[in-house]
C-alpha cells in the first residue's frame, strides 16, 4: 500500500510531457473524453518544444511526426482528423449526421448519395465502432475501414 | 614531312582542337547551368537602386519594416535568420541588395534553395526587375510546392473568436486566418488550415502571464495547423462563438500571401498583448500581399494598441470582408437545445445528469422516438459539458454518456432542433472600442461641473449592447476630468474594470466575479472631494436572468483604498453589491446598482452607494446617459451623504 502511494506520488510529480502519446504523433491513441487533461499535456509538450530557427510552422497539438510544415501528411489526414475530433464523431455517428462526420466522409472521398449510406453504416454499427471506453482512434478508423470494405456500396472508398 | 604524315598531324591537331572546343563548350554550358552570371547581380542591384525599390511600401512590408518614429524603418521581426544583411533589420536598402545577392547563391539555406526560402521577395523582385532566366536560373521549390498543394488554398477567411469572460486572456477576442481548400472539400471548413499568430507561452499563473505578455517578454510566431484544432479549442472547450468573415482577395494577392507566409516560418517577434499582437500581425501579413491597402498605419499612430475587433473593422473598411458566418460555441448550442425541450424534457435531462433518471424509466420508454432522440442528445451534451468543466470525472460519467449514445444509435429518428439563432448584429457592427464623453454633473448644493471623459476600451452595461457579450464589462484606462469655475481636476480614472456576469439557469451554474482598479477622490461627489488615491474592489457571486435581456447580479465584495485624506491613510472594507442591468429595451439601457461596505480596518469607514443610470443610444455611435448617484460614508467621527445627477453625451469611435 505504501509502495503504491509512493509510486502514485512520484508519478504525479513527473512532468506531463512524459505521458505524451507513444503513437506516431498523430494522437492516434486518443480515446473519447480525453478532454482537458489530454489536451493540456500535449499543449505543454508542444509549446515548450517550440524552437525558433528550425524553420517549421510551429507544432500543433498531438501531430508531432505526422505533419510537416504545419500540414498533415496525406496518408495521415483521415486518422489525424478522427483522433482530433473523436468525441464529436462519437456523437455524430450515433446521431447519423454532423459536420465532423461530413468532413470524415469527405476525407474518404465519399460523394453525394453514398454519404447517406456511410452515415447509415456507422450508425448501425455504432456499438462495434465505439466498442468500449478505451477504444482508440486507430481502432475506430480501422473498424470504419473494415465496415466499408464489407459494404457493397462503400467498398470502393475503402483504403 | 610526307603528305601522309602532315595529314595525320593535321588530323590529330584538328581532333585535339575539337576536343578542346568541346571541353570548353561543355564547361561553358556547365557554368550557365550551375552558376548564374555574377555581373548580372551588379546590374540588378543598380537597377533596383535606380528605381528606388527599397523605398517602396511593397518592399518594406515584406520586411515588416513600417515607418516608425522619425521615419526610421525598423522591422518588427526579430529572428536573425530573416535578414540576409547585418543591418537588414533597420536598413531596407542593404537588405534588398543582400536579397538579390542571395538569389545567386546556390548553397541551401535551412535545407532549401534561397530563392524558395524567400519566395515572396523573389517573386516581387522578379516581377519588378524582369529577371532573365538565362542569367539567373530559377530554382525548383519542391518543398514549397508540396506545402501549397497540400493546403490548396482557394479562398481565405478571417475568423474572429469572440471573448469568453471566464477566461481573462480572451478579453478582447482573437483573430486568425483560415485557408480554405478548393474543390469538393471547399465547404468543409473543418478540413481547412488555420494561420495563427500567437505567443509561445507555457501555462503560467495569471499575473505572470499578464506581465510577460504586456512587456513583450514572450516571442510570437505564425503557425499553420488544421483549423479543426482551433475549433476544438474555441467552440468546444471554451465558450467562444466564432464569426467567419470571407476575406476577398484576388488570386494573385492570395498567392503572394501564401509565399510571404512561407517566408515567415519560424520567424519570431516580440509579442505584446496590446500592440503587436495576433491581430496586428495578421493585418501585416495581409498588407504585405495587398500593398494598395493601408491596414496598420492607424494602429501605429497614437497609443500602441490593436483591439482585435478593430482589426476586423479595418479590413471591412477597405471593402475586403464578406458577410460572416456565425458558429456558436457548443455551450450556446447546448443552452439553445435545452430551451427547445419541453418542460418534462428538461426535467428528465437534469434528472439523468444527476443520476436520478434512467433509460429504463417507463416515462422515457413510452415516449415517441423523436422525443427520445432529442433528450438523449441534450443529456449527452450536458454530461459532456459537466465533464469539460471538471464537475464530473471520466470514469464517473463516460459510461452513462456511452449508454446515451448507444441508445441514440439504435434510434432512427432525426432530431429536429433549430439552429442557434444568429445574432442580428455581428461584432464588427457593434459600437466603436473608444468612447469620449462630454457632460454635466449637478451636486445637491447646486454646484455644477463640466465632465470630460475618454475611454480607449471597451464596453460597459449601458453602452449599446449589439455585438457584445451580454452582462460583461471590460474597461481600460478610462479617465474623467471635472471642470468648474475654480479648477480643472482629474475626477477619477478607471484603470481597469472587468465584470464577468454569467447568468445561471437550470443547466449552467457558473460563478460571476468582478475586479475594479480606480484612481478616485476620497469624497467623489462632495464639493471638496479631497485628494486622489487608489482603490481596488473585487468580489465573487452569482447572476440570474430575471427576464430576457437582463441580468441580476449579487456579489460579496472587498474594497481596499489608499488615500492620504483617509484616516490612517487607508481603508479596508467588505460587504455586498447588488445590481440589475437591462438591455431588453434597446436603444434604452438601464442599470441600477447598490453597494454596502462595512469598514474593517484603517479609516474603518462604512460606505453605501447607489447608482441609477439609463442611456438612450442613437445607433451605435452616440448615446445620452443620465444618472443619479448617492454616496454615503460614515465612521465614528462623521456621517456624510453626497448626491449628484450626471448627464453625459457619449460618442463611440
What average pLDDT does the structure give for chain B? 88
Average pLDDT over residues B408-418: 94
Q: What local confidence, expressed as pLDDT, does residue B317 receive?
A: 94
The reply to whether residue A95 touches residue B143, judged by beta carbons under 8 angstroms, is: no
Give the residue from A159, A93, A82, A100 showing the smallest Cα distance to A121.
A93
Residue in this structure with the C-alpha cell 466564432, named with its chain if needed: B242
Residues linked to residue B473 through DSSP beta bridges, in sequence order: B499
Which of helix, strand or coil describes residue A104?
A: helix
B203 exposure class (CB count in 10 Å sphere: 0-12, 13-18, 19+) = exposed
How many Å apart are CA B345 and CA B405, to the nearest integer?
17
The larger pLDDT score, comparing residue A45 to residue B116, is at B116
Q: Give the DSSP per-residue string, B292-316.
A: T---SHHHHSSS----HHHHHHHHH
What value does the mean pLDDT take over residues A83-99?
Answer: 94
Distance, CA of B132 to CA of B407 (rounded, Å): 69
Check whether B163 has a pLDDT greater than 70: yes
Element (H, E) at B619: none
B190 touches chain A (CB under 8 A): yes
Using the Cα atoms of residue B41, residue B46, residue B47 and residue B53 in order, give the sign of their dihedral.
positive
Helices A137-150, A77-84: crossing angle, 10 deg rounding: 120
Is B402 in CB contact (< 8 Å) with chain A?
yes
Secondary structure element (H or E) that encloses residue B607, with its range:
strand B606-618
Ramachandran category for residue B322: left, alpha or beta (phi over 0 → left; psi -120 to 50 → alpha)? beta
Q: What is the pLDDT of residues A126-135, one digit of tens each?
A: 999 999 999 9
A16, A43, B637 from A13: Cα distances, Å: 9, 18, 56
Cell numbers given for B542: 452569482
What are the cell numbers at B528? 471638496
Stretch 246-275 of chain B: residues touching chain A, C-beta under 8 Å? 265-268
ipTM score above 0.85: no
The arithmetic mean of pLDDT across residues B479-490, rounded, is 91
| pLDDT (0 to 100) of residue B206 | 58
* pLDDT over threshold 60, residue B200: yes
What's this model's pTM, rounded to 2 decimal places?
0.86
Asked if B5 has any chain A CB less than 8 Å from its own CB, the reply is no
Q: How many CB atoms lie within 10 A of CB B52?
A: 10
Which residues of chain B make contact with A53, given a CB cutoff of 8 A? Answer: 79-81, 266
Taking residue B525's Cβ as centre, other Cβ atoms within 10 Å add up to: 20
pLDDT tens-digit series, residues B28-81 = 444 444 456 788 999 999 999 999 999 998 999 999 887 766 666 788 888 888
Indicate the range of A35-49, B208-222, B252-266, B280-294 predicted with least confidence: A35-49
Cis peptide bond prior to B587, omega within 30° of 0? yes
DSSP state of A125: T
Q: Which of A49, A51, A60 to mutate to test the interface with B (most CBs of B within 10 A)?
A: A60
Q: What is the mean pLDDT of residues B564-592?
A: 93
In degrees to the nearest 10, what's the CA dihedral of B232, B237, B241, B243?
Answer: -20
pLDDT for B485 beyond 70: yes
Where does the pLDDT of residue B525 fall: very low under 50, low under 70, confident under 90, or very high at 90 and above?
Answer: confident
Residues B527 and B516: beta-carbon distance below 8 Å: no
Q: Which residues of chain A does B415 touch, with a Cβ-Cβ cutoff of 8 Å?
A: 95
Identify whether the C-beta of residue B128 lies closer than 8 Å to the C-beta of residue B62.
no
Q: What is the pLDDT of residues B425-463, one digit of tens each?
A: 999 999 999 999 999 999 988 789 999 999 998 999 999
Q: What's the whole-number mean pLDDT along residues B504-533?
A: 88
Using the predicted structure, report yes or no on whether residue A50 has a pLDDT greater than 60: no
User: Inter-chain contact A94–B406, Cβ cutoff 8 Å?
Assistant: yes
For residue B219, the chain A residue with the least C-alpha distance is A52
DSSP calls for A50-86: --TTS------TT-TTTEETTEE-GGGHHHHHHHHTH
pLDDT band at B84 (very low <50, low <70, confident <90, very high): very high
Partners of residue B615 on adjacent β-strands: B589, B625
Residue B323 has pLDDT above 60, yes or no: yes
Nearest CA in chain B to A64: B225
> Which grid cell is A74?
496525406
| Calpha distance B546→B150 (Å, rounded) | 52
Q: What percent of chain A has pLDDT over 70?
A: 65
A-B contacts at Cβ under 8 angstroms: 140
Phi first, then psi, for residue B237 (nearest 5°) are -85, -40
For B143, name the nearest residue in chain A, comparing CA atoms only: A69
Phi, psi dihedrals of residue B16, rounded to the nearest 5° = -65, -45
Distance separating alpha carbons of residues A108 and A116, to the nearest angstrom: 14
- The pLDDT of B14-37, averaged and rounded, is 52
- Cα(B191)–Cα(A55) distance, rounded to whole angstroms? 24
Which grid coordinates are listed for B599?
A: 469598514
Cβ atoms B229, A64 nearer than 8 A: no
Residue A35 predicted with pLDDT over 90: no
Cβ neighbours of A154 (radius 10 Å): 21
The fraction of chain A above a pLDDT of 90, given in percent, is 44
pLDDT-based confidence at B404, cuts 50/70/90? very high
Q: CA–CA separation, A59 vs A20, rounded Å?
A: 14
Bin B240: left if φ > 0, else alpha if -120 < ψ < 50, else beta. beta
Burial of B353 (0-12, 13-18, 19+ CB in 10 A): buried
User: Using the beta-carbon criterion (under 8 Å), do A72 and B265 form an inter-chain contact?
Assistant: no
Q: Please list the alpha-helical segments (H only) found in B393-434.
A: 394-410
**Helices (H) and strands (E) in chain A — how many of each?**
8, 2
| Best CA proximity match to B200, nearest among A51, A22, A68 | A51
- Closest listed residue to residue B122, CA positions, set B43, B62, B36: B62
**What is the pLDDT at residue B609?**
95
Give residue B273's pLDDT: 72
**pLDDT given for residue B173 in this prediction:** 86
Instruction: Report the share of chain B in percent with pLDDT over 90.
Output: 59
Other Cβ atoms within 10 Å of B9 Cβ, number? 11
Query: Could you give the C-alpha distances from B102 to A71, B122, B127, B133, B252, in angstroms and in order?
Result: 28, 10, 17, 15, 25
Q: Which helix (H) or strand (E) holds B11?
A: helix B3-34
Distance between CA atoms of B524 and B629, rounded to whole angstroms? 10
| Partners of residue A121 in chain B, C-beta under 8 Å | none
Indicate yes or no: CB of A32 within 8 angstroms of CB of B398: yes
> Residue B535: which pLDDT band, with cuts at 50, 70 and 90?
very high
The nearest CA of chain B is from the CA of A70 a distance in Å of: 5
Is pLDDT above 90 for A121? yes
Spatial CB neighbours of B646, under 8 Å, sequence gap ≥ 6: B439, B440, B441, B442, B451, B625, B626, B627, B628, B629
pLDDT per residue as tens digits for the range B106-160:
899 888 999 999 999 999 999 999 999 889 999 999 999 999 999 999 999 999 9
**Residue in B190, B239, B386 to test binding to A, most A beta-carbons within 10 Å:** B190
Amino acid at each position: 500500500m505504501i509502495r503504491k502511494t509512493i509510486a502514485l506520488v512520484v508519478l504525479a510529480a513527473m512532468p506531463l510531457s512524459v505521458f505524451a502519446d507513444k503513437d506516431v504523433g498523430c494522437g492516434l491513441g486518443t480515446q473519447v473524453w480525453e478532454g482537458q487533461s489530454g489536451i493540456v499535456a500535449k499543449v505543454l509538450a508542444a509549446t515548450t518544444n517550440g524552437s525558433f530557427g528550425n524553420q517549421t510552422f510551429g507544432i500543433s497539438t498531438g501531430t508531432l511526426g505526422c505533419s510537416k510544415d504545419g500540414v498533415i501528411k496525406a496518408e495521415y489526414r483521415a486518422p489525424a482528423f478522427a483522433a482530433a475530433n473523436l468525441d464529436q464523431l462519437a456523437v455524430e455517428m450515433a446521431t447519423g449526421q454532423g459536420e465532423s462526420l461530413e468532413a470524415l466522409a469527405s476525407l474518404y472521398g465519399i460523394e453525394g448519395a453514398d454519404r447517406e449510406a456511410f452515415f447509415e453504416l456507422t450508425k448501425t454499427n455504432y456499438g462495434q465502432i465505439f466498442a468500449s471506453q478505451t477504444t482508440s482512434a486507430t481502432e475506430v478508423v480501422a473498424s470504419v475501414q473494415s465496415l466499408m470494405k464489407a459494404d457493397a456500396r462503400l467498398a470502393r472508398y475503402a483504403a | 614531312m610526307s603528305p601522309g604524315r602532315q595529314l595525320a598531324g593535321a588530323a590529330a591537331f584538328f581532333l585535339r582542337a575539337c576536343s578542346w572546343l568541346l571541353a570548353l563548350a561543355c564547361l561553358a554550358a556547365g557554368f550557365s547551368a550551375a552558376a548564374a552570371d555574377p555581373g548580372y547581380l551588379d546590374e540588378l542591384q543598380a537597377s533596383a537602386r535606380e528605381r528606388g525599390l527599397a523605398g517602396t511600401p511593397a518592399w518594406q512590408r515584406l520586411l515588416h519594416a513600417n515607418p516608425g518614429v522619425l521615419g526610421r524603418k525598423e522591422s518588427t521581426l526579430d529572428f536573425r535568420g530573416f535578414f540576409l544583411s547585418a543591418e537588414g533589420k533597420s536598413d531596407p536598402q542593404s537588405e534588398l541588395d543582400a536579397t538579390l545577392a542571395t538569389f545567386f547563391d546556390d548553397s541551401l539555406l535551412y535545407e532549401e534553395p534561397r530563392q524558395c526560402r524567400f519566395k515572396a521577395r523573389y517573386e516581387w523582385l522578379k516581377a519588378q526587375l524582369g529577371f532573365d532566366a538565362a542569367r539567373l536560373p530559377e530554382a525548383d521549390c519542391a518543398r514549397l510546392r508540396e506545402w501549397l498543394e497540400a493546403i490548396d488554398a482557394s479562398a481565405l477567411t478571417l475568423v474572429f473568436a469572440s471573448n469568453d469572460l471566464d477566461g481573462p486572456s480572451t478579453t478582447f477576442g482573437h483573430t486568425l486566418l483560415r485557408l480554405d481548400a478548393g474543390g469538393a472539400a471547399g465547404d468543409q471548413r473543418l478540413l481547412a488550415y488555420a494561420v495563427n499568430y500567437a505567443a509561445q507561452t507555457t501555462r503560467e499563473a495569471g499575473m505572470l502571464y499578464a506581465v510577460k505578455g504586456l512587456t513583450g517578454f514572450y516571442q510570437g510566431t505564425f503557425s499553420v495547423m488544421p483549423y479543426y484544432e482551433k475549433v476544438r479549442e474555441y467552440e468546444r472547450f471554451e465558450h467562444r462563438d466564432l464569426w467567419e468573415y470571407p476575406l476577398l482577395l484576388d488570386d494573385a494577392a492570395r498567392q503572394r500571401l501564401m509565399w510571404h507566409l512561407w517566408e515567415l516560418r519560424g520567424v519570431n517577434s516580440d509579442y505584446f498583448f496590446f500592440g503587436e499582437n495576433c491581430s496586428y500581425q495578421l493585418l501585416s501579413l495581409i498588407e504585405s500581399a495587398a500593398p494598395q491597402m493601408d491596414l496598420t498605419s492607424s494602429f501605429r499612430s497614437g497609443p500602441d494598441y490593436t483591439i482585435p475587433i478593430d482589426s476586423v473593422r479595418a479590413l471591412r473598411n477597405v471593402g475586403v470582408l464578406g458577410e460572416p458566418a456565425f458558429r456558436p460555441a457548443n455551450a450556446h448550442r447546448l443552452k439553445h437545445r435545452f430551451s427547445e425541450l419541453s418542460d418534462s424534457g428538461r426535467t428528465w435531462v437534469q434528472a439523468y445528469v444527476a443520476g436520478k433518471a434512467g433509460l429504463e424509466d417507463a416515462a422515457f420508454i413510452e415516449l415517441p422516438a423523436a422525443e427520445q432522440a432529442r433528450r438523449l442528445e441534450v443529456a449527452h451534451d450536458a454530461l459532456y459539458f459537466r465533464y469539460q468543466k471538471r464537475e464530473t470525472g471520466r470514469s464517473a460519467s463516460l459510461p452513462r454518456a456511452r449508454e446515451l449514445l448507444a441508445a441514440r444509435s439504435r434510434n432512427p429518428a432525426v432530431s429536429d432542433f433549430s439552429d442557434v439563432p444568429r445574432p442580428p448584429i455581428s461584432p464588427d457592427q457593434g459600437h466603436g472600442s473608444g468612447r469620449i464623453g462630454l457632460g454635466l454633473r449637478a451636486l445637491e448644493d447646486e454646484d455644477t461641473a463640466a465632465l470630460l471623459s475618454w475611454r480607449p476600451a471597451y464596453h460597459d452595461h449601458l453602452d449599446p449592447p449589439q455585438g457584445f457579450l451580454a452582462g460583461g464589462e471590460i474597461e481600460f484606462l478610462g479617465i474623467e476630468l471635472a471642470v468648474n469655475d475654480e479648477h480643472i481636476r482629474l475626477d477619477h480614472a478607471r484603470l481597469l474594470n472587468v465584470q464577468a456576469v454569467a447568468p445561471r439557469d437550470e443547466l449552467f451554474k457558473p460563478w460571476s466575479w468582478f475586479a475594479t482598479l480606480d484612481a478616485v477622490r476620497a469624497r467623489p461627489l462632495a464639493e471638496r472631494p479631497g485628494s486622489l488615491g487608489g482603490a481596488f474592489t473585487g468580489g465573487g457571486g452569482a447572476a440570474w436572468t430575471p427576464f430576457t435581456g437582463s441580468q441580476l447580479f449579487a456579489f460579496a465584495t472587498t474594497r481596499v483604498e489608499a488615500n492620504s485624506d483617509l484616516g490612517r491613510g487607508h481603508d479596508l472594507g467588505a460587504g455586498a453589491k447588488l445590481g440589475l442591468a437591462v438591455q431588453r429595451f434597446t436603444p434604452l439601457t438601464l442599470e441600477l446598482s447598490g453597494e454596502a461596505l462595512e469598514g474593517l480596518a484603517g479609516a474603518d469607514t462604512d460606505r453605501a452607494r447607489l447608482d441609477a443610470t439609463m442611456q438612450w443610444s442613437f445607433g451605435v455611435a452616440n448615446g445620452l446617459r443620465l444618472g443619479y448617484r448617492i454616496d454615503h460614508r460614515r465612521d465614528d467621527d462623521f456621517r456624510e451623504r453626497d448626491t449628484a445627477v450626471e448627464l453625459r453625451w457619449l460618442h463611440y469611435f
